[in-house]
Amino acid sequence: MHDLSWLTARPIAHRGLHDLNRMRWENTLPAFEAACAKGYAIECDVRLSADGVAVVFHDAELDRLTGRPGLVHHHTAAELGAMRVGETDARVPSLSETLACVAGRVPLVIELKGTEGADAGLVRAVGRDLAAYSGRAAIMSFDPWLVRRFSADAAGIPAGLTAMGTEIEQLENHFSMLAHGIDFVSYGVSDLPNPFVAFVRERLGMPVITWTVRTPDDIARTVAFADQMTFEGFEPTLAAR
């Protein structure tokens, strides 16, 4: 059982401490550097490049963040690393570049974004990068086929389920993922409270973090029903719990 007290010790900056993509864009090294400077933990997203490298990028498509057409998994890490994010000088970083930037200064929570049929090596690539990292880091995913690979391809790394919803079928699917050795849950704040989150916190003693907290009501829900927030668009106090 992992000691995950560090996971809930400080607020987590959603995709880094960006400024809603005005000058400092999400999932870029400047956003990660800003989070480190303020002492916030960092959430980031990773996908698999065409040459099997974990790269930090949220969307499956390139357009919103780079202005280019096409899909992330059709490009090599070097090609992606040459693409500007927004109209800034920041480029699409690899996970290894992100780890070198953060360098253990704050915890990292890494969400693996699947593209079914094109992500067979994603968990392995992330596990390989984290094997050489001495800082605190955890992985998580919405995608059940990736969560099922965590224990084999990223052994020893704290692992979580990213989840949302309150419908019975959704909750049953979440309960089924408990069989795969997850250590924590990241849940959509607007869907709290619910029986799944109550069960994992109260019966299993798992930490629960929320996403994405933007309003006072979101903060209140986190305080009432979870253990820490993943925030965006404001700067919470480091004592917020």
**Torsion-angle region of 92 (φ positive above 0: left; ψ -120 to 50: alpha; else: beta):** beta
Query: 88 by DSSP, 3-state: which?
Result: coil
**Average pLDDT of span 219-231:** 98
DSSP of 15-79, one letter per residue?
TSS--SSSSS-TTSHHHHHHHHHHT-EEEEEEEE-TTS-EEE-S-SBSHHHHS--SBGGGS-HHH
Query: 144 by DSSP, 3-state: which?
Result: helix
Q: What's the mean per-residue pLDDT of the chain?
A: 97
Residue 1 pLDDT: 66
Strand ranges in the chain using DSSP code E only, listed in sequence order: 12-14, 41-48, 54-56, 108-112, 137-141, 159-163, 184-188, 208-213, 228-231
Residue 111 pLDDT: 98
Instruction: Compute the residue count for the chain.
Output: 241
Q: CB under 8 Å to 57, separation ≥6 — which residues? A: 27, 45, 46, 47, 65, 72, 80, 92, 113
Q: Residue 241 — very low, low, confident or very high, per pLDDT cuts 50/70/90?
A: very low
**Distance (Å, rounded) from C-alpha 18 to C-alpha 153?**
31
Question: What would you measure as the largest C-alpha separation in the chain, in angstroms?
Answer: 48
* pLDDT single digits (tens) 157-200: 999 999 999 999 999 999 999 999 999 999 999 999 999 999 99
Assigned CATH topology for domain 5-231 = TIM Barrel (3.20.20)
**Average pLDDT of span 131-152:** 97
